[in-house]
Chain A
Amino acid sequence: MGAHHTLSKMCQVLKLYCLWINVGIFLIVSQISAGFQQVKLGERGGRRRDFNDAGIYTRQAMVHVKDSKSGTSGKPISLSSNFFRLLSCPQWVLYQYHIKFEPPMESRRLRSALIYQHEQTLGKAKIFDGGMLFLPIRLAQKETILHSETRNKEAVKITVTLTNELPPSSPVCIQFYNLILRKILKLLHLQQIGRNYYNPHDPLNIPQHKLKIWPGYVTTILHYESSIMMCIDISHKVLRSNTVLDFMTNLRAQYGDHRFADMCTKELVGCIVLTKYNNKTYRVDDIAWDHTPNNTFVKGDTTISFKKYFKDYHDSDIYDDNQVLLVSHVKKMGPAGGPPPGPAMLVPELCHLTGLTDKMRADYNIMRDMLKHTKLEPDARERRLTRFVNSIREKPDAQAELDQWGLCFDKQLAKLSGRVLAVERIYQGSKSFDYDLWKADWSREMRGNPVISSPEIKKWFLFHTRQNGNDAHSLLESLQRVSSPLGIHLHKPVLVSYDDFPESLLKALKQNVGPDTQMVAVILPSNRKDRYECVKKYLCVDFPVPSQCVVSRTLKPKSLMTVATKLALQMACKVGGELWSVEIPLKQLMVVGIDCYHDTSAGKRSIGALVASLNQTMTRWFSKCVLQHKGQEIMDGLKMALAGALKDYHKFNNCLPSRIIVYRDGVGDGQLHSVVNFEVAQILESIKTFGEGYEPKLSVVVVTKRISCRFFAHINGSVSNPPPGTVVDTEVTRPEWYDFYIVSQAVHNGSVSPTHYNVVYDTSGLKPDHMQRLTYKLCHMYFNWQGIIRVPAPCMYAHKLAFLVGQSIHKEPNTKLDDYLFYL
Chain B
Amino acid sequence: MNVSTVVSLLISAILCPFALLFLKVTFVTTMASMFNPSLHKQRHQFVVDFIQRNKPKKVVDLGCGECSLLSRLKFRREIELLVGVDIDERKLRRKTLGLAPLSTDFLQPTFEQLRVELYHGSVLEKDARVRGFDLVTSIEVIEHLHLADVKCFSAVVFGYMAPKAVIISTPNSEFNPLLPGLSGFRHSDHKFEWTRAEFTSWALEACCHYGYEVEFTGVGRAPQGQQVGFCSQIAVFHRVRRENICNVPPGYDPEDEFSYTQLYSVNYPSLRDNNTLRRVLVSEVLYWTETLKNKWMEERSGDPGAEFSSWLAARGKQLHENQTTWQEYLEHPSDQCSTRALWDGEGYDHLPSAEHQQPFTLHSSLWVPLGFLCSCIPKVSSLSGSVEHLKLLLMDAPEVRLSVDGSAVIVNCLQQNDQNEKEVNDIEDTGSADACQFNSTAERVEDWEDEVYDEGSPCVKTSSGRV
Q: Could you list which residues of chain A lie within 8 angstroms of chain B, going by C-beta atoms?
A: 3, 6, 9-10, 13-14, 17, 21, 63-64, 103, 105-107, 109-110, 113-114, 116, 119, 148-154, 156, 186-187, 189, 191, 193, 198, 200-201, 203, 205, 207-210, 212, 239-241, 243, 249-250, 253-254, 256, 274-279, 300-302, 312-316, 352, 365, 368, 425, 427, 430-435, 442-449, 556, 558-559, 561-563, 583, 585-587, 764-767, 770, 774
Contacts and interface: CB of A to CB of B under 8 A. Distances in A.
B36 to A, nearest CB: 6
A567 to B, nearest CB: 13
A749 to B, nearest CB: 12
A210 B449 CA distance: 58
B257 to A, nearest CB: 24
Interface string B448-467: 11011111001010000000
Given A10-B5, A316-B75, A558-B424, A110 B20 contact: yes
Nearest to B185: A151
B439 interface: yes
A433 B283 contact: no
A13 B419 contact: no
B188 to A, nearest CB: 4
Report the interface size class on chain B.
35 or more
Contacts of A250: 331
A368 B180 contact: no
Contacts of A113: 20-21
A158 to B, nearest CB: 12
Nearest to A281: B103
A764 B453 CA distance: 8
B5 A6 contact: yes
B437 A241 contact: no
B424 A556 contact: yes
A347 to B, nearest CB: 13
A201 B431 CA distance: 49
A205 B283 contact: yes
B187 interface: yes
A553 B124 CA distance: 79
A559 B427 CA distance: 7
A114 B266 CA distance: 31
Q: Which 4 A-B pairs have the closest CB atoms?
A: A445-B435, A765-B453, A447-B433, A151-B188
Nearest to B264: A397
Contacts, number: 223
Contact of A447 (B331, B432, B452): B432
B453 A444 contact: no
B63 to A, nearest CB: 17
B377 interface: no
Nearest to B420: A364
Nearest to B180: A10
B6 interface: yes
Contact of B443 (A254, A425, A559): A425
A561 B427 CA distance: 10
B418 interface: no
Contacts of A198: 103
A207 B20 contact: no
A433 B427 contact: no
Label chain A's interface by main secondary structure: mixed
Contacts of A562: 427-429
Contact of A767 (B108, B445, B453): B453
Contacts of B452: 764-767
A105 B23 CA distance: 6
A764 B454 CA distance: 9
A766 B453 contact: yes
Contact of B448 (A240, A433, A766): A766
Given A63-B458, A586-B449, 12 more contacts: A6-B5, A193-B103, A205-B283, A208-B286, A209-B287, A212-B107, A253-B331, A256-B334, A279-B102, A434-B438, A583-B443, A586-B448
B440 interface: yes
Contacts of A431: 437-440
Contacts of A106: 24-25
Contact of B22 (A10, A64, A148, A151): A151
Contact of A103 (B10, B23, B32, B433): B23
B106 interface: yes
Contacts of A17: 9-10
Given A207-B287, A448-B433, A562-B427, A315 B77 contact: yes
A151 B427 contact: no
A103 B23 CA distance: 8
A243 B108 CA distance: 9
B36 A301 contact: yes
Interface in B172-222: 177, 180-181, 184-185, 187-188
Contacts of B453: 63-64, 765-767
Given A444-B429, A558-B428, A10 B181 contact: yes
Nearest to A762: B453
A675 to B, nearest CB: 23
Contacts of B125: none
A207 B332 CA distance: 19
Interface string B35-79: 011000000000010000000000000000000000010011100
Contact of A241 (B107, B184, B266): B107
B194 to A, nearest CB: 19
5 contacts: A193-B103, A203-B106, A207-B290, A274-B104, A352-B103
B34 interface: no
Contacts of A277: 75, 102
Contacts of B108: 241, 243, 352
B299 interface: no
Contacts of A116: 90
Interface string B153-186: 0000000000000000000000001001100110
A587 B449 CA distance: 8
B294 to A, nearest CB: 9
B214 to A, nearest CB: 27
A455 B280 CA distance: 61
Contacts of A109: 20, 25
A213 B181 CA distance: 58
A471 to B, nearest CB: 16
Contacts of B282: 205, 207
A198 B290 CA distance: 28
Nearest to B444: A583
Nearest to B41: A300
B421 to A, nearest CB: 10
Nearest to B428: A559
Contact of A150 (B23, B36, B419): B23
B248 interface: no
B429 A151 contact: no
Contact of B103 (A191, A314, A445): A191
A275 B104 contact: yes
A535 B462 CA distance: 55
B9 A150 contact: no
Interface string B283-312: 111110010000000000000000000000
A300 B36 contact: yes
A586 B452 CA distance: 10
A64 B90 CA distance: 53
Given A110-B25, A208-B287, A562-B427, A300 B37 contact: yes
A585 B450 CA distance: 10
B107 A6 contact: no
B240 interface: no
Interface string B1-34: 0000110011000000001111111001000100
A442 B433 CA distance: 10
Contacts of B388: none
Contact of A208 (B77, B188, B269, B290): B290
A386 to B, nearest CB: 26
Contacts of B438: 425, 431-434
Residue from B107, B443, B451 whose CB has the most chain A CB atoms within 10 Å: B107
A205 B97 contact: no
